[in-house]
Structure 1
Amino acid sequence: MNPSFYPSANKSCKSTRIIRKFILIKFGQVKLIAKPEFVIKSLLLFIICLVLVSCKDPGVKELDQNSLNATKKNDVSARNAGSFAEDLKPIIRYNFDTEIGSWYENSTCCPWSLSLNSLVARAGSGSIKFDLRREDNIQNPRTELGREPNNNQESWYGFSLFFPASFIKDPIEESIVQWNSRPDLKEGESWRSAPLFLGILNDRFVLEVRSDSNRITKQGYFSFNRLDLGPVEKETWHDWVFHIKWAYDNTGVIEVWKNGQLILSRLNQPNSYNDAMFPYFKVGIYKWDWATKATVGIDRRTMFVDEISIGNHTADFKQVSPQATPLPVTLASFTAAKLGLVSQLKWSTAQEVNAERFVIQRSSNAKNWQNVGEKMAIGASSNLINYAFTDQKPVKGTSYYRLKIVDKDQTFAYSSIKSLKF
């Protein structure tokens, strides 16, 4: 009898031993040497044994608890060394001209919480507007978008922020951009404060950094640093670039550029928790103090965001910076005022580099624009230059105005939008 004809199965299965004892397979013929009903029952048991987990393949080696712990330890070491495969495209961009784009998290509650906006834009024709009101969600006062957690230890981030005049000074801190860290729930960890976030406190930008090398991080049990990053100016765009290499030991890196200038270089210091995944990017307004009604007299927060670029370790400053293509001029001011039945537009430049002209554009809906005039630029200047234009035929109702600033190589950018009612 050739043993190769026997069905392959685990010898620990009792029914298999019965089948082997009572069935003789030879040259494709089966000879029964037991009662038929007994053999049928044994065949059924044999089939069940093949598909049940209890009939384990003798070639599969199970890891004991020590092996599992060692594997987990190696994974954590590899994570902190940044040896995981990259799962982020070289550059991900959001310009918010026509759509919000794809996001992993959308923490909003109301129709007005998050919307595309055409009145204010850093570049292109629109931006995204975050609008948080105290009565929206008392238990979780936030309006935010978030990317998915990832295994990228080193990344680059660029974005532009705009705060209207209504964004008044608040003595209690609030978050506008954060890099949150997903807890290792299976290890018994729960949510903690973000290891890194950009916030606003008393009309100043602040950067908070938290870190902990322990495998399990509890809320409040971490190192903490708060860094001042300068004043919050209203009615103008703030361009930011962050270069981050995450680490819970002394190999972490945080570099920050504001409006093209390097303002922070925090090297060889911890900046994260010892989690299985690296922190992920979130943008939007989070006012945790509203849950306790701590702030008095501030019931609404509005912020505009544009030109978000996210890159992995292969990116650089120029690829993610909102200033990758510098504006031909630096606008010091741009105003619109009613002068009888006409519109009086005035603007000033603090600096001009290769500027060619200003195209004055008007719209009745802030979406469809027409050219109503031009002014030639000085072209090259580091002094304050004043310009003015009068629109003799404003639109009945609301007239929207913006400047199209054209460079000598015909590249261009847009100013913020002003409106007048007639």
Structure 2
Amino acid sequence: MTIPSPLAGGSRKAAAALLLCALLVPGQPAFAARSAAPAVLFDYEDGTKTSGYGIEPNACCPHSIGVSTMGRTGDYSIRSHLKYGDPAVAGGARAESHTLGLEKSYYRSGDTVYYGFSIYIMSTWKTDSREDILFQWKPWRDTCESNKFPSAFLTVQPSGKWRLRVNSDGNRCSTAGSVRKTSFDLADIRPGSWHDFVFKFRWSHRGDGSIDVWHQTHKAPGWKKVLATTGANTFNDDATTKGYLKWGIYKPAWNTAPTEVDSRVVVHDNIAVGTSFSAVDPSAH
């Protein structure tokens, strides 16, 4: 089987979709055909930073967020560039896109949702002593709260691993001391590769929550299930509170001091929200 190049053009999308319907990939939930479309898909194929949805940036500078011609399956993607010393945005060192204004991306306790996306780690990526946050599931805070942790976020660790960090709280009003924190290592960081992820969250602030994660790279295709866990994974929020998505780079350590690196660049593509694995598979859009 020929695997699409990370620089593949849009003409290869149809072939990828046909292969998806014909093959059963090890470690992937069984399906016979592409039966559902994603609720939302940010593939940037319109060549804009909003991908046609009005996505908003958390960006300080012209270099922070830009369209890239290095698409996972099509012609375009989104490039995030953060430099040490960039002015703070939304209280921190970040260059991110977010869906705060897009209702179709929202989640809350009780929902079951699939998410898919691809992240390109540059071949020039250097190991650092502090983590980089590249994707977040982030609820806004309730009126009784002064701040709010993400429900979950995907990081690059100094160990060279992808790590999922999860926060939860069954209390009505969360505080820094009441949040339960857990972490899961998922796969190795492989610079110079597109990393494809599919997440299935059964969101819950109780013990009936669950998370399943699949991963592959474009250089080593073949989905592998890298996490299956149960337990609380979000917050006991007010009925009006929802969560949304953020992707790009957030470097918390740079809020207070430099680290061994002074610049980070990362590329995201084919971010999808849906009700099945096949609907959000980022290697097939």
Question: Could you tell me the TM-score, scaled by structure 1's length?
Answer: 0.52
Pick aligned residue for 1:112 from 52, 60, 63: 63
Q: CA shift at 1:126, angstroms?
A: 1.6
Q: What runs of 5+ residues in structure 1 fail to find an aligned partner? A: 1-88, 326-422
Secondary structure at the residue paired with 2:173?
Answer: coil
Looking at structure 2, the residues matched to 103 and 240 of structure 1 have their Cα atoms a distance apart, in angstroms, of 24
Identical amino acids, percent of aligned pairs? 30
Larger proportion of helix: 1
Alignment of 1:247-326 (within 5 A): 247-259=204-216, 260-267=223-230, 269-276=231-238, 277-295=241-259, 297-311=260-274, 315-324=275-284
The higher relative CO (CA closer than 8 Å, separation ≥ 6) is in: 2
Distance in 1, matches of 2:138 and 2:38, equals 21
How well do the aligned residues superpose, as a CA RMSD in angstroms? 1.8
8 Å Cα contact 2:187/2:226 also seen in 1? no
> Would you say 1:96 and 2:44 are equivalent positions?
yes
Contact 2:38 2:279 in 1 (8 A): no
TM-score, length-normalised on structure 2?
0.76
Counterpart among 137, 141, 144 of residue 183 in structure 1? 141
Deviates more, 1:136-145 or 1:297-306: 136-145
Higher radius of gyration, 1 or 2: 1
What's the CA shift string for 1:121-168, capped at 9, x where partnerless?
A: 211112110000112125621011111363552211110000112221
**Alpha-carbon distance, 1:196 to partner:** 0.5
DSSP-derived class of the 1:319 partner: helix
Pick closer, same or farther for the CA change 1:289–1:220 going to 2, 3 Å.
Answer: farther
In 1, Cα distance between equivalents of 2:244 and 2:205: 15
Shift of 1:246: 1.0
Does structure 2 conserve the Cα–Cα contact (< 8 Å) formed by 1:209 and 1:224? yes
Aligned to 1:123, what secondary structure does the other structure show? coil
User: Does the 8 Å contact 1:182/1:275 carry over to 2?
Assistant: no
Report the alpha carbon displacement of residue 116 of structure 1 after superposing the two structures with TM: 0.5
CA distance in 2, matches of 1:211, 1:199: 17
Render the CA deviation track for 1:31-50: whole Å, top value 9, x for unaligned.
xxxxxxxxxxxxxxxxxxxx
The count of corresponding residues between Structure 1 and Structure 2 is 229
Of the three residues 218, 224, 227, the one matched with 2:175 is: 218
Whichever structure has more strand as a proportion of its residues is 1
Pick the aligned partner of 1:198 from 142, 154, 161: 154
> For 1:132 and 1:310, how far apart are their aligned partners in 2?
26
**Deviation at 1:250?**
0.9
Cα deviation 1:3-47 (Å, max 9, x = unaligned): xxxxxxxxxxxxxxxxxxxxxxxxxxxxxxxxxxxxxxxxxxxxx
Q: How does 1:20-419 map to 2 (within 5 A)?
A: 90-97=38-45, 98-100=47-49, 101=51, 102-103=53-54, 105-118=56-69, 120-138=70-88, 140-148=92-100, 150-151=106-107, 153-185=111-143, 188-202=144-158, 203-259=160-216, 260-267=223-230, 269-276=231-238, 277-295=241-259, 297-311=260-274, 315-324=275-284
User: Could you give the per-residue CA deviations for residues 280-305 of structure 1, whole angstroms, max 9, x where no partner exists?
Assistant: 2111100011111151x311000011
Which amino acid in the other structure matches residue 158 of structure 1?
G
Whether the 8 Å CA contact 1:103–1:145 is kept in 2: the answer is no
Alignment check: 8 A CA contact 1:156 1:320 kept: yes
The answer as to whether partners of 2:77 and 2:269 remain within 8 angstroms in 1 is yes
Question: Secondary structure at the residue paired with 1:243?
Answer: strand
Q: 1:197 to 1:226 in 2, by over 3 A?
A: same
In 2, the alpha carbon distance for the partners of 1:103 and 1:256 equals 28
